[in-house]
Amino acid sequence: MGRRISDIAFEEQHSLDDVRAAVAELVADPRTAPDAVVADPGTDRDRVETASGIYADQQLTDAGDKAVTEMLSRLHSGGGTPDHPGA
């Protein structure tokens, strides 16, 4: 099982908004099933106000954790995300 969104933000030293955006981008991809990314729906206590309904305490799957971490590392290196490639 992957990490919680809030743990990824802390451990990878990214803002919670960046991690949420990466998860939202993965979940929005029609080729990716949401349950392939998110393992646990989280709670209402830290709900993100987006159409995807992503929570800060959501548990990701191993594959979701890996994909989000890869996206965040590309942001650090200036490589962007698949939908928003870097220059």
Confidence class for position 43, pLDDT limits 50, 70, 90? low
Give the 3-state secondary structure of residue 83. Answer: coil
Quote the mean pLDDT of the chain: 79
Does the pTM of the predicted model rise above 0.85? Answer: no
| Kind and range of the H or E run holding 40 | strand 38-40
pLDDT attached to residue 74: 83
pLDDT in tens, 66-87: 999 999 988 766 555 556 555 4
Closest of 38, 66, 33, 68 to residue 53, by C-alpha: 38
pLDDT attached to residue 24: 87
